[in-house]
Structure 1
Amino acid sequence: MITCHDLHKEYRTGHITKSVLNGVDFTINPNDRIGLLGRNGAGKSTLIRLIGGVEMPTSGKVVRKMSCSWPLGFTGGFQGSLTGYDNARFIARIYDKPYSEMRVFVEEFTELGIQLHMPVKQYSSGMRARLAFALSLAIEFQCYLIDEVIMVGDMNFRKKCERAFFEVRKDRALLLASHSVKTVKRFCNRAIVLDDGIATMYEDVDTGISVYEAL
């Protein structure tokens, strides 16, 4: 499981301090598929980055007792001067996965073809998202973090992403930040509503959606 203990996150700009999260507590259990709902600026992406270890909380802690992906669609870890293949090789080394397997998977999933030989800094945002998805899926995590980028690309690619997460990996835990109540209702079994820095867990997805829609 993954547990958030009293998470606080503040950002300071000049003399101004903005508080984004104010004591967030919840647990992601194995097989949980949690929809993370909140208005723009509520802190959904921030919370996912904290859980994924991309950022550190101002106070509180995240305890991970199952393997957790980086936030899907997060491309900040890419080395822009390296090619798509080179970034795949780097990830393969970190997670001790055979590069030959990683390469084949990335080629098939991204459908980027010869563009995988190009430096990532020359990629469009959609191409970078495809590569990020493929690299995340090439490593078998117990929990996946998705920040609303699952709808990237054309219809065929979106269906491929949905199948990869909601069918092939239906036994994995998932935290999905989304504004789409239809997506959350279709794929999630619990919901968190993030408002005013506080996260409230709802065991019934429909109840969580109703609260979110009332905000």
Structure 2
Amino acid sequence: MIAINDVTKIYSTRKGHRTVLDKISLTIPRGEKIGILGRNGAGKSTLIRLISGAELPTKGQITRKMSISWPLAFGGAFQGSLTGLDNLRFICRVYGADFEQATPYVQEFSELGNYLREPVKKYSSGMRARLAFAISLAVDFDCFLIDEIVAVGDSRFHEKCRHELFEKRMDRAMIIVSHDAGYIREYCDRAAVLDSGKLHEFSEVSAALNFYHGTL
């Protein structure tokens, strides 16, 4: 379970303090898939960062009783001077995963070939995303964070990502941020809408989508 209790996030800007999230609460049990909708700048990515632990809330508390991934396809935390395999080794140590077991999976899934033995700073953005996605799936997380982009590359690779995530790991919890109404409708059990710092929860995805479209 993940429990978000009265969480507020305030950033300091040149024009003063800006409250991005205002006393929001949300509970995600094991295996549930929830969609988070909101306009650009509504705070969706901020919420994902708070849940992942990359940032701390200004006020409130987030309780995590299951392992949580970083946002899928996010390669911003890679050490550029290390090779893809060295980054995998480091991440496996951090998360207590078996490097020898994870390596063949990452090699096959990422399709990076010999580039896995090259420094990540030489990778294109797409290559970094493929490596990050492969490592995310190689580590056994209870909950996956999906911020807008869940697949990279061509249509064949998109389908490969979809199958690995939504079919092979259909028993895992997921928190999905997306502007794509069809995507939220297809994969989520329920949804919530971020608007003006407040989180509006709905038990039915269709009700959340109707509310979201009304805020546009």
TM-score range (shorter-chain normalised) is over 0.9
Alignment partners' CA distance in 2, 1:26 and 1:111: 37
Alignment partners' CA distance in 1, 2:151 and 2:92: 26
Instruction: Give matches, 1:127-146, under 5 Å.
Output: 127-146=127-146
Cα distance, 1:15 vs structure 2 = 5.3
Match of 1:92 in 2: 92
- 1:163 is the counterpart of 2:163: yes
Alignment partners' CA distance in 2, 1:26 and 1:96: 28
Alignment partners' CA distance in 2, 1:207 and 1:111: 40
Tell me which amino acid in the other structure corresponds to 1:60: G
Tell me which amino acid in the other structure corresponds to 2:11: Y
Compute the TM-score of the two structures, normalised by the length of structure 1.
0.96
Alignment partners' CA distance in 1, 2:179 and 2:15: 32
* CA-based RMSD: 1.2
User: Are the counterparts in 1 of residues 5 and 61 from structure 2 also a CA contact under 8 Å?
Assistant: yes
Alignment partners' CA distance in 1, 2:42 and 2:14: 21
Match of 1:68 in 2: 68
Match of 1:198 in 2: 198
Cα distance, 1:124 vs structure 2 = 1.5
Tell me which amino acid in the other structure corresponds to 2:125: S
User: Are the counterparts in 1 of residues 25 and 199 from structure 2 also a CA contact under 8 Å?
Assistant: yes
Match of 2:120 in 1: 120
Cα distance, 1:188 vs structure 2 = 0.7
Classify the secondary structure of the residue corresponding to 2:45.
helix
Tell me which amino acid in the other structure corresponds to 1:40: N
Cα distance, 1:195 vs structure 2 = 0.6
Q: How big is each residue's C-alpha offset from its partner over 1:54-81, in whole Å with a ceiling of 9 and x where there is no partner?
A: 1111111110111111222222321111
Classify the secondary structure of the residue corresponding to 2:9.
strand
Match of 2:107 in 1: 107
Compute the TM-score of the two structures, normalised by the length of structure 2.
0.96
Classify the secondary structure of the residue corresponding to 2:150.
helix
Alignment partners' CA distance in 2, 1:193 and 1:26: 12
Alignment partners' CA distance in 1, 2:103 and 2:214: 46
Match of 1:207 in 2: 207
Match of 1:31 in 2: 31
Q: How big is each residue's C-alpha offset from its partner over 1:115-172, in whole Å with a ceiling of 9 and x where there is no partner?
A: 1122112211111111111111111111110101113221111111111111101111
Gaps of 5+ in 2: none
Alignment partners' CA distance in 2, 1:53 and 1:11: 16
Q: How big is each residue's C-alpha offset from its partner over 1:10-62, in whole Å with a ceiling of 9 and x where there is no partner?
A: 11134522211111101001111111100011111110010000111111111
Tell me which amino acid in the other structure corresponds to 1:13: T
Match of 1:149 in 2: 149
Classify the secondary structure of the residue corresponding to 1:56.
coil
User: Are the counterparts in 1 of residues 83 and 117 from structure 2 also a CA contact under 8 Å?
Assistant: yes
State the identity as a percent.
Answer: 51
